[in-house]
């Protein structure tokens, strides 16, 4: 009898120990730059803050991550929480990837605290499918010493930018560097030029759109911008600027720390992206959502709430060179107002327009980046490239 009781006690102890183990919540993200360690700190801090849930994060390169989401919708191999670029949230929500968390929002302290643009990207057909995690936009970086030596003041218009590039371009140095790679990252960099002309993504064959693409293509034709921009990510553009091979570049706040690290002795500053008709930038940032078939949706929601706490969001955004999508965090913090560099991005946020949101945004974006790549490589004229793009966009919009 004593042996039986001992065995039962042992079984109960094992059962207790097993039940005491935290629930594992798997998360996929594509943070890989200077913001990666700061995101991992959010995860580790959450795990240390309680004992019931353990988030296990995995970095998956962005393009591969999107493929895995699509494959997972068929095969079922998916995490509990997934990250997406904000313009793609509507598309994956329409595909059924994310769980509707509208009911979970009721009574949550963060409800109604987000900026309109980032929040809109998480809503599809009136239902909420995720939470904005960070926001950003673009501005113009410039090498102060190079501009001074060339007798150039920071350009404010397209005409001034062209004139500045002409003076700044010399053997081994281009006037301007941008990211013109053929994916969403490149579309992100191209849109401010489109928006500044008064064009819209729904009418990419408009005279304004053609003017925008012609302007950038001419910078390449004149030798003011490298034809290699078609292969450059935003990180690559930063390297061109930091090593003195480009006097100016268009980039985001996440590369502030990279420039400081890569070029500690360089004198540089920021200004708004030069305008045609109006100043323009584009809204960037990532969202997180709970995967539709997660067996640990409640635990996943606990992490989303933690990640969105004002102090957690503020700490991550400050460290990673991004902006908080919560209006109360931005408005109550002196950080983004007192830093002279971040202040420029904060001013650009006023003009930053969201991409979409539209469930067919990936198709729209693909048509856009195909067009500028065709133009930059002189495969097609700007006019023809955008006319062909418009045909693809029209098909996407009617689906």
91 and 156 in a single domain? The answer is no
237 and 378 in a single domain? The answer is yes
- Determine the pLDDT at residue 63: 87
Residue 112 maps to a domain? yes
306 and 246 in a single domain? The answer is no
Residue 397 pLDDT greater than 60, yes or no: yes
121 and 165 in a single domain? The answer is no
Residue 8 maps to a domain? no
376 and 272 in a single domain? The answer is yes
367 and 344 in a single domain? The answer is no
- Cα distances (angstroms) measured from residue 77 to each of 178, 334, 341: 37, 43, 42
* 376-383 long-range Cβ contacts below 8 angstroms, 24+ apart: 376/180, 376/216, 376/217, 376/220, 376/227, 376/229, 376/230, 377/227, 377/230, 378/217, 378/221, 382/210, 382/213, 382/214, 382/217, 383/205, 383/210, 383/214
373 and 338 in a single domain? The answer is no
Residue 337 maps to a domain? yes
Residue 13 maps to a domain? no
Residue 12 pLDDT greater than 70, yes or no: no
Residue 7 maps to a domain? no
Residue 384 maps to a domain? yes
pLDDT digits (tens, 9 = 90+) for 360-373: 898 999 999 999 99
Domain endpoint, select from 337, 353, 369: 353
Distance CA 293, CA 384 (A): 44
122 and 248 in a single domain? The answer is no
128 and 179 in a single domain? The answer is no
Residue 296 maps to a domain? yes
pLDDT band, residue 16 (cuts 50/70/90) = very low
pLDDT digits (tens, 9 = 90+) for 106-159: 999 999 999 888 898 999 999 999 999 999 899 999 999 999 999 999 999 999
Rounded to a whole number, what is the distance in angstroms from the first to the last CA of the chain? Answer: 72
Residue 1 maps to a domain? no
pLDDT digits (tens, 9 = 90+) for 221-275: 999 999 999 999 999 999 999 999 999 999 999 899 899 999 999 999 999 999 9
330 and 370 in a single domain? The answer is no
pLDDT digits (tens, 9 = 90+) for 23-32: 999 999 999 8
Domain total in the chain: 2
Token pair of 38 as six digits: 């700061």
Domain that holds residue 246: 139-282+360-398
Q: Kindly give, in sequence order, each residue whose CB lies less than 8 Å from that of residue 316, ignoring residues fewer than 6 positions away.
A: 38, 39, 41, 42, 134, 322
Backbone angles phi and psi of 142, in degrees to 5: -145, 145
224 and 326 in a single domain? The answer is no
68 and 158 in a single domain? The answer is no
Can you give the CATH number for the domain in which 43 is found? 3.40.190.10
Chain centroid to CA 83: 11
What would you report as the CA-atom Rg of the chain, rounded to the nearest whole angstrom?
Answer: 24
């Amino acid at each position: 009898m004593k042996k039986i009781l001992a065995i039962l006690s042992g079984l109960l102890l094992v059962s207790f120990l097993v039940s005491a183990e935290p629930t594992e919540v798997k998360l996929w993200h594509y943070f890989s730059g200077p913001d990666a360690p700061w995101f991992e700190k959010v995860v580790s801090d959450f795990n240390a803050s309680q004992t019931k849930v353990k988030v296990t994060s995995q970095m998956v390169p962005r393009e591969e991550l999107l493929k895995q989401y699509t494959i997972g919708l068929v095969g079922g191999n998916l995490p509990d929480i997934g990250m997406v670029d904000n313009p793609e949230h509507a598309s994956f929500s329409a595909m059924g990837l994310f769980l509707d968390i509208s009911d979970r929002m009721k009574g949550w302290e963060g409800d109604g605290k987000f900026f309109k643009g980032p929040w809109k990207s998480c809503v599809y057909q009136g239902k909420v499918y995720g939470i904005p995690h960070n926001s950003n936009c673009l501005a113009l970086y410039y090498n102060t010493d190079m501009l001074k030596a060339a007798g150039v003041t920071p350009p404010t218009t397209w005409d001034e930018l062209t004139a500045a590039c002409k003076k700044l371009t010399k053997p081994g140095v281009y006037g301007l560097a941008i990211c013109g790679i053929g994916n969403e990252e490149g579309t992100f960099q191209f849109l401010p030029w489109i928006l500044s002309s008064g064009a819209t993504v729904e009418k990419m064959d408009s005279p304004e759109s053609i003017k925008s693409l012609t302007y950038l293509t001419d910078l390449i034709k004149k030798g003011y911008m490298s034809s290699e921009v078609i292969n450059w990510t935003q990180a690559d553009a930063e390297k061109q600027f930091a090593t003195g091979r480009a006097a100016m570049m268009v980039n985001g706040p996440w590369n502030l720390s990279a420039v400081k690290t890569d070029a500690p002795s360089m004198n540089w500053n920021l200004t708004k992206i030069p305008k045609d008709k109006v100043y323009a930038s584009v809204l960037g940032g990532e969202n997180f959502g709970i995967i539709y078939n997660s067996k640990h949706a409640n635990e996943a929601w606990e992490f989303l709430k933690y990640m969105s706490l004002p102090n957690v969001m503020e700490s991550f955004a400050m460290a990673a060179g991004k902006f908080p999508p919560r209006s109360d965090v931005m408005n109550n913090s002196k950080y983004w107002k007192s830093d002279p560099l971040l202040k420029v991005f904060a001013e650009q946020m006023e003009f930053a327009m969201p991409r979409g949101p539209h469930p067919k945004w990936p198709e729209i974006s693909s048509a856009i980046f195909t067009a500028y790549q065709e133009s930059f490589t002189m495969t097609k004229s700007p006019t023809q490239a955008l006319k062909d793009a418009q045909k693809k966009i029209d098909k996407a919009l009617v689906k």
